[in-house]
Structure 1
Amino acid sequence: MANIKDIAELTGFSKSTISRYLNNGSVSDKTKKKIKEAIDELGYVPNSYARNLKKTKTNIIGVIIPNFIGYTKNTALNAINIYLKETDYSMLLSCSNDDMDEEVRIIEEMAGLNVEGIILFASNITQKHKEITKTLTIPLVIFGQKLEGFTSILANDYEAGRLMADYIKTLSHKEISYFDVGKYDQAVGDRFLGLSDGIKDRNIKINHHHFDFTKKTAYEKAKEILDKEKSSFYIGATDNIAFGIIEALREKEIRIPDDISVAGFGNYEISSIINPALTTVAFPYEKLGKLAIEDLLKQIEGEKGLKKAPLSPRLIVRKSTL
């Protein structure tokens, strides 16, 4: 049976353009003619369930996440879920598995199912994201990244890096290693930018590495790097990365923090109870989640989305550093 993707491939138009045509949206007469010809040729029959949704208010909020890894989104999602329990709205959650094309497809699909609005937990904003968001007729809130024209809910990652830098400058380290995530995540990347700017007035060498969010990768890479670098302070761009570094140090019987200090960013639930307790920077994830859903619901009710300043983090010094 033919679907919207088949029509898009035959006509050369985007799926969002096909969707607008099917739902009586604004498309040119020339475009209408070409789409109708493709529908007739393919024998396309619209999904009656999705079309019926277009006629009614669904009270469904779409929430899109890139993956299920990490404390950040779980805390924010929980805050969103708790908030929605006091309203008439419910959540439709979908995961892109870090596939940006899939993420764009999900945005389009959710809009087609007539969700009232979308919260996108974004790790990256591609050109395709920018193109699809221009076609949306429902409110969209971006969590974790910036996108011009939409409400962006952010923590101040740059300030978090500066806090870590100010702390390191009170110590005696001359070489540090930083385990970052992929370059695609601009917000998390701002943590390193704040750190490097904060210590550039000191004679401290930084070994900057890009990997991913996983503890496993951090563990494996740390075992390799420990034999090549002379760093006495290791920093994970997230606490999860720091946990992998700690595991590698323990395996090599390197004492923390006597031989090497370790710090992270995030202040996960277990960060205070591992041994030694992890020095980290805490972000207000719960408050960020609440701000995201509050803003989205206001937009759904016809109010304008507000430009919000990034929320400030705080440094927590524990036993993993000296």
Structure 2
Amino acid sequence: MVTINDIAKKAGVAKSTVSRYLNGGSVSQKTKDKIEKIVNETGYSPNTFAQSLKAKHTKMVGVIVPRLDSYSANEVITSIDRKLTATGYQLLITNTDQSVEREIENIYTLAKQKVAGIILMATVVTEEHRKAIKEVDVPVLLLGQQAEGLHSIGHEEYKAGYAMGKLAGSLGHKDFLYFSVFKEDIAVGQLRANGVLEALREWPDSQTEVIETSFSFQQAYELTLDILPKTKATYVLCATDNIAMAVLKAAHTLNLAIPKDFSLSGFGGYEVTSIVSPSITTVKYGYKELGETAVNQLCHLINGEKAEKNVLIPNTLIKRESTVPK
């Protein structure tokens, strides 16, 4: 078996120089080329586990997710995993079940495990989050949320909401119902909602009722069963595709037809929205791009390089069968 000593002897350099090369440290280009050639010729494969024990941090990146049954989270994680693998890192996932306390706890736990960096898909960003991020000696990148002073990558939420609200108003509807989520969620509960409501206000003779629900399909479904028989709305906008799917199911349960009785739209671009009947109008988000950009930005932070504080990923409105003119 080829060792670091063998590589050092063949290259005519010290063992420590080879070690720096393997760990991405400072080595002259000439020496780097020489070592790389020998590594390729000998087929040398470093013992990454042993390297992790000696290194300041492991070649692992921790990702804190709010829940494991989320389509969007799974799409982003898949993208992150592929990009990390190509970059030489491994993925370590922790689930919080949408608990703020567990999010904060996991920041400390992953830091103790010497991960190289942490990607946090936070539900909200509290002072406790900021305290944990400041205290751990590990780069932390927010995903999906924005917070002043912290590195974050999110979607163009306001633009997405505004585009959907603009579509709804342009179809001639006057009575709208918007299922939002808790306002502590900056991305969905504030930015996305503000975009929707701002666009709908451009039709002064229209009325919009806002109902707060949760990200849970079952909770949204049960709430909708109670709301739909009482509403005058001819267009129902939902903060997520998951909520839109719950409204679709409730409509079927109540023998209401979409879009005959009311138009329906969501946000997310979940694959299932193109499969159900009627297919649901939605905003498609760049989950793959979000994951890849997150890894690129985190690698900059890990290497002590400059990284943008706040990056926004664009999205696309997709009009389908569930929305028609009034």
* 2:279 is equivalent to residue 270 of structure 1: no
Give CA deviations for 1:80-105 in whole Å, capped at 9, x if unaligned.
11112213210111011111111111
| 2:281 corresponding residue in structure 1 | 279
Report matched runs for 1:229-240 at 5 Å: 229-240=231-242
| 8 Å CA contact 1:65, 1:121 repeated in 2 | yes
Bigger-Rg structure (1/2) = 2
| 2:98 corresponding residue in structure 1 | 98
Give CA deviations for 1:191-248 in whole Å, capped at 9, x if unaligned.
1110111121212211111111122122111110112211111111110100000111
Aligned-partner residue type, residue 245 of structure 1: V
Give CA deviations for 1:49-102 in whole Å, capped at 9, x if unaligned.
xxx958544111011011123221111110011112213210111011111111
Instruction: Report the Cα offset of residue 294 of structure 1.
Output: 0.9
Instruction: Report the Cα offset of residue 280 of structure 1.
Output: 0.5
**Structure 2 Cα separation of the partners of residues 296 and 262 of structure 1:** 38
Moved over 3 A (4+): 52-57
TM-score by length of 2: 0.80
* 2:297 is equivalent to residue 295 of structure 1: yes
Uncovered stretches (5+) of structure 2, i.e. residues with no partner = 1-51
Instruction: Report the Cα offset of residue 307 of structure 1.
Output: 3.0
Name the SS for the 1:161 alignment partner. helix
**Structure 2 Cα separation of the partners of residues 84 and 55 of structure 1:** 18
Report matched runs for 1:160-171 at 5 Å: 160-171=160-171
Aligned-partner residue type, residue 132 of structure 2: I
Tell me which moved more, 238-247 or 307-316: 307-316
| 8 Å CA contact 2:100, 2:123 repeated in 1 | no
Tell me which moved more, 271-280 or 79-88: 79-88
| 1:318 corresponding residue in structure 2 | 320
* 1:251 aligned to which of 253, 269, 273: 253
| 2:135 corresponding residue in structure 1 | 135
| 1:214 corresponding residue in structure 2 | 216
Aligned-partner residue type, residue 296 of structure 2: E
**Structure 2 Cα separation of the partners of residues 80 and 118 of structure 1:** 12
Q: Identity of counterpart residues, as a percentage?
A: 35
**Structure 1 Cα separation of the partners of residues 250 and 157 of structure 2:** 26
Name the SS for the 1:61 alignment partner. strand
Instruction: Report the Cα offset of residue 253 of structure 1.
Output: 1.3
Corresponding residue pairs, total: 271
Task: Give the direction of change, closer, same or farther, for the CA distance of 1:60–1:258 in structure 2 (3 Å limit).
Answer: same
Report matched runs for 1:1-322 at 5 Å: 53=53, 56-189=56-189, 190-202=191-203, 203-322=205-324
Tell me which moved more, 153-162 or 65-74: 65-74
**Structure 2 Cα separation of the partners of residues 219 and 186 of structure 1:** 23
Aligned-partner residue type, residue 104 of structure 2: V
Instruction: Report the Cα offset of residue 186 of structure 1.
Output: 1.1
Task: Give the direction of change, closer, same or farther, for the CA distance of 1:99–1:91 in structure 2 (3 Å limit).
Answer: same
Instruction: Report the Cα offset of residue 183 of structure 1.
Output: 2.1
| 8 Å CA contact 1:163, 1:314 repeated in 2 | no
Name the SS for the 1:310 alignment partner. strand
